[in-house]
Amino acid sequence: MTIVTTPATTPSPAPASPRVTRHGYFGPAGTFTQMALNAWGPAAGQEHVALPSVEAALGALRAGDIDAAMVPIENSVEGGVSATLDALASGDPLVVVGEVLVPITFVLAAPAGMTLDQVRAVGTHSHAWAQVRGWMGATLPDAVYVPTLSTAAAAAGLVGGDAEQAAYQAAVCAPIAAANHDLQVLAQDIGDNASAVTRFVSVARPGQLPERTGADKTTLVLFQRDDHAGGLLELLEQFAVRGINMSRLESRPTKSSMGDYCFSIDIEGHVLDERVGEALLGLKRVCADVRFLGSYPAAHGTAVRVTPHTSDAAFGEARAWLRSLRGA
């Protein structure tokens, strides 16, 4: 299993007072989020704080109780993580400062002595269940699904005093969670997609931007002024005419009224790139609101392809030409 992280050019968030920097994560211990945080270079030497939900982690960050938060934002099988997308789209501004890509491997774990044919119900997080449905249907077709707050919480529910109250006999979890709780593994590699990957982001309060690397991403949330024909096209053409590739586009309800949606977007490039800055100016004109969620190095490290007519130099030449026309 190879975990891919943003290169170590991202500044560590500074604590609000002289103390050890605290980096929260969607816990409990044993989640894939903890694995992402452990692999995140800037979090080395920091205090890691487990929090019960994405909302709790980002809420603690906004309140100043922690200095950064690691949360899941996208899965290659299920798409965007709605809890994270919605929490970032509203409330006090936060920014993404880096990302971690974690290959997802699931096991079916149970207390010692349990056998596969004794499993009548299985506990896990909804995203995990979606990724093992095929295996479960073929292996334990009669097993009932019991939702839990996280895969690690499902494993924890099978040990100690919680085991007697558990509504399930086995948990779908990460191998680390099974090991943490001394559970026996009934089956390994039970995911339906062997190449499944979850993308995690380190989020901080606004401050110093990560440096430009030439292999960057920018994350935005766009709110339309109104619902009209060609409205989405107006937004997307701000990127297209400037040669900006979009790597993710998802619509999310604003929760203000039926049919009112915002768009969560990842684009290639950094806000300090001329083409990205120009696109943001265009979006500011045509959108009701533009929420900037950060520019940061992409985990894959592949340089963004920039054509000659969309380079910083090309935009500079165009501005110089316009100044000459205006007599400046």
Over the chain (328 residues), the average pLDDT of each successive run of 10 is: 68 56 92 93 92 96 97 92 95 97 96 95 93 96 94 92 80 94 96 93 95 97 88 93 96 86 96 98 95 97 94 96 91
- Given 156, 188, 220, the domain boundary residue is 188
Pair 61, 203 in one domain = yes
The reply to whether 31 and 176 lie within a common domain is no
Tell me the pTM: 0.86
- Are 19 and 99 part of one and the same domain? yes
Tell me what pLDDT residue 7 has. 66
State residue 158's pLDDT score: 95
CA atoms 74, 78, 81, 82: torsion sign: positive
User: HEC states along the chain?
Assistant: CCCEECCCCCCCCCCCCCCCCEEEEECCCCCHHHHHHHHCHHHCCCEEEEECCHHHHHHHHHHCCCCEEEEEEEECCCEECHHHHHHHHCCCCCEEEEEEEEECCCEEEECCCCCHHHCCEEEECHHHHHHHHHHHHHHCCCCEEEECCCHHHHHHCCCCCHHHHCCCCEEEECHHHHHHCCCEEEEECCCCCCCCEEEEEEEECCCCCCCCCCCEEEEEEEEECCCCCCHHHHHHHHHHCCCCCEEEEEEEECCCCCCCEEEEEEEECCCCCHHHHHHHHHHHHHEEEEEEEEEEECCCCCCCCCCHHHCHHHHHHHHHHHHHHCCC
Q: Where among 188, 218, 252 does a domain terminate?
A: 188
The residues pairing with 267 across neighbouring beta strands, listed in sequence order, are 218, 246
Residue 200 sits in the same domain as residue 308: no
CATH number, domain at 96?
A: 3.40.190.10
Radius of gyration of the chain, Cα coordinates, nearest whole angstrom: 22
Q: What is the per-residue pLDDT for 164?
A: 67
6 and 131 part of one domain: no
Residues 234 and 166 in one domain: no
pLDDT at residue number 258: 85
Predicted local confidence at residue 228, as pLDDT: 82
Is residue 202 located within the same domain as residue 57? yes
Give the phi and the psi of residue 302 in degrees, each rounded to 5: -80, 130
Same domain for 287 and 230? yes
| Residues 74, 119 within the same domain | no
- Same domain, residue pair 15 and 91: yes
Domain of 6 in residue numbering reads as: 1-104+196-207
| pLDDT at residue number 149 | 87
Note the pLDDT of residue 17.
Answer: 47
Query: Which of 188, 219, 247 lies at the terminal end of a domain, its last residue?
Result: 188
